Amino acid sequence: MPGHDLVKATSPRIQRWKCVCAYDGTGFAGWQSQVRADSVQDAIERRLAQIFGQPVRIHGSGRTDSGVHARGQVFHFDAAWPHGPGKLLAAFRMGLPPAIQIRSARPVAADFHSRFQATGKLYEYRIQLGAAEPFDRLYCWQVFRALDVAAMQAAAAVLRGRHDFRAFTALNGTEREDTVRHLRRLEVRRRGRTLRIIAEADGFIYKMVRSLVGALVSVGEGKVTPAQMRAILAGRERPAVVQTAPPQGLFLVKVSYP
């Protein structure tokens, strides 16, 4: 029928969209969709369902744990959107929770994948030496013990490079994930009473960043020496001194692509 052909000809085609989002993870059960808890992915998919009038699945660059924040999480989805990126961003803004912001949206090639094509991730962890201001406490780890920052920096130098980081993850013995990663950057920077730990790698294993931070704090407390970090790496078994830093100090800053 001519009318039917006209509708087909003018219907927008399915397009893959790459989006970068920021979120305050305080009130969410992490990034990944949950059955009985609200996640960042759930909130974004609810808004997309409202925009498009049907379910739309998004695919993130990776998970962040409950309470972890992001400035540059990346996700993609497929949908027929007849307008430009600006109107899509405006549609997102009208219905998302204020704790989530879509920072950019653009059409990409149909074979783009936010997770499998990522070449690296950059995280930042914040530590406050002593009590934090009330409006900062949800975005840092308050440490009330003196820390030897120079020792932490020496330990970070030992950990940088390509290693098997199984001792610095929360994986159990039955999981077969490859635990070799290239830790390109691990820096400890101090400004006043604030420590910033910068971690960049070709990829991170489950709770690896928080484990690295916890281990560095143990070094700062004098519980382990920088030289002992090499033995911990080689041992591939997680010792008690590798504590898991609390989630609220961690920020996913950037995901890199070719």
pLDDT of 124-171, one tens digit each? 999 999 999 999 999 999 999 999 999 999 999 999 999 999 999 987
Lowest mean pLDDT among 19-33, 38-52, 179-193, 230-244: 230-244
Q: Which pLDDT score, from 0 to 100, does residue 12 have?
A: 77
Q: Which pLDDT score, from 0 to 100, does residue 140 have?
A: 98
Q: Which pLDDT score, from 0 to 100, does residue 8 have?
A: 44
Between these two residues, 50 and 5, which has the higher pLDDT value?
A: 50
Q: Which pLDDT score, from 0 to 100, does residue 9 have?
A: 44
CA 126 to chain centre: 14
Lowest mean pLDDT among 11-15, 42-46, 184-188: 11-15
DSSP per position, 236-252: -S--TTSPPPPGGGEEE
Question: How do beta strands 250-256 and 69-79 pair?
Answer: parallel
- Topology given in CATH for the domain delimited by 120-256: Alpha-Beta Plaits (3.30.70)
Q: Is 111 a catalytic residue?
A: no
Pick the catalytic residue from 5, 42, 65, 111: 65
Q: Is the pLDDT of residue 97 over 70?
A: yes
Between these two residues, 177 and 104, which has the higher pLDDT value?
A: 104
Q: Which pLDDT score, from 0 to 100, does residue 11 have?
A: 66
Name the percent of the chain lying above pLDDT 70.
Answer: 94
The rounded distance, in Å, linking the Cα atoms of 223 and 140 is: 22
Q: Which pLDDT score, from 0 to 100, does residue 240 have?
A: 87
One-letter amino acid for residue 209 of the chain: V
Which sign, positive or negative, has the C-alpha torsion 24, 30, 32, 36?
A: negative
pLDDT of 163-173, one tens digit each? 999 999 987 65
Q: 2-108: which CATH architecture?
A: 2-Layer Sandwich (3.30)
Tokens of 208: 């690896």
Q: Where are the domains of the chain?
A: 2-108, 120-256
> What is the distance in angstroms between the CA of the first residue and the CA of the last residue of the chain?
46
pTM as predicted: 0.91
Tokens of 136: 């900062």
Q: Which pLDDT score, from 0 to 100, does residue 7 have?
A: 39
